[in-house]
Amino acid sequence: MNTRQTPKNRLFFQYLTYTILTLFVILVAILYISKNADAFRRIFTLSWHSVAYFFILQMAMTITNALVLIIYMGILKNKISFVDASGLTVINTFFNNVAIKGGTLVRGYFLKKIHNFSYTNFLLTLSTFALIELISAGFIGISCLIIIYFTRGYFNPYLFLLFIAFFIGGITATAIPLNKIFKSNSWLGKKLIELTEAWDKIKRNKSKITRLFLLSLSQYIIFALRFKYGFQVLYGHSSFIDSLLISTIGILSFLLSITPGGIGIREFLTGATYKLINGNMVEAVVITALDRLISTVAFFVLGMAFIFYFLKKIKTKK
């Protein structure tokens, strides 16, 4: 009897697992919100002026992601307009909130149909920029923890080791030819080899690599400004260094695609990180949830508009 799973069965069980995990996380989130209902009610006291400020910062993040895509398209000898790059970033966020990796699939589809950008090259951009984000997160995290130690006398060795691992791991992946060390007969080995080969394709253009690192750093700063503003308007206090530190975990949580949009995962990780530097976990969770709420509503409206825009472009191209 053949017990080997077909690709179709593996995909079914994979999404079944993701669905069960998502339902479990949502259940835990509901229980957590009900337990801290008073804290979450603060979200609805926000003025339209404050909501607009969050939205502007989210649009700033969209612009940086669009610029990242434009740079990668240039490296791979392709072109894309700023409007298209921004639109693809919007629908990526929109569909990521709807389904696990949904944004990746939809953005890759439109790039292929409209710009003849292969899905392989698209995955190359995702994997190498994730590596850049990892290195940037390590650098920022280490710097923030050092500043916290010298200004407050507090040091968390677990977070420090985590960010050291991010930084050294990322640098190692860019410097060591992993494709010559690992064998492709394991899942991890195959992924490391693909990452190394992808990095080899883009590292020759040093000026654009520098721009990608600067854009990665700017994304953490923008995300930190969202946290800082949230702390200020909801709780009357804010620290840019604290916000910058938890922003690194907030962005990296998007890489853990086990629930749509990292729902529940991002809130827990940012809250736990804030608690590890003697912050109030509930406060960080509430602000992360607020940021998610505004983002979801905004990108739903913009996402629907850009879907029609790209569908029309595909129809026109035919």
Distance (Å, rounded) from C-alpha 280 to C-alpha 246?
12
- Select the more confidently predicted residue: 266 or 13: 266
Indicate the pLDDT class of residue 244, thresholds 50, 70 and 90: very high
48-77 per-position pLDDT tens digit: 999 999 999 999 999 999 999 999 888 878
CB 162 within 8 A of CB 229: no
Residue type, 77: K
Asked whether the predicted pLDDT for residue 7 surpasses 70, the reply is no
Asked whether the predicted pLDDT for residue 98 surpasses 60, the reply is yes
Q: What is the pLDDT of residue 264?
A: 83
Both structure tokens of 206: 């040093």
Distance (Å, rounded) from C-alpha 127 to C-alpha 196?
10
Q: What is the pLDDT of residue 127?
A: 79
Give how far Cα 314 sits from Cα of 171, 247, 307, 317, Å: 40, 37, 11, 5
Q: What is the pLDDT of residue 1?
A: 45
- Select the more confidently predicted residue: 231 or 204: 231
The residue assigned the tokens 């607009």 is: 52
Indicate the pLDDT class of residue 138, thresholds 50, 70 and 90: very high
- HSE-up of 187 (CA within 13 Å, CB side)? 0
Q: What is the pLDDT of residue 116?
A: 83
Give how far Cα 231 sits from Cα of 17, 43, 285, Å: 35, 11, 11
Range ranked top by mean pLDDT from 70-84, 92-106, 208-222, 261-275: 208-222
Percent of the chain with pLDDT over 70: 87
CB 303 within 8 A of CB 91: yes
Distance (Å, rounded) from C-alpha 151 to C-alpha 172?
31
CB 234 within 8 A of CB 283: yes
The mean pLDDT value for 243-258 works out to: 82
Q: What is the pLDDT of residue 26?
A: 85
Range ranked top by mean pLDDT from 72-81, 93-102, 144-153: 144-153
Category of 118 on φ-ψ map: left (φ > 0), alpha (ψ -120 to 50) or beta: beta
Fill in the DSSP letter of residue 42: G
Q: CA nearest 43: which of 292, 222, 269?
A: 292
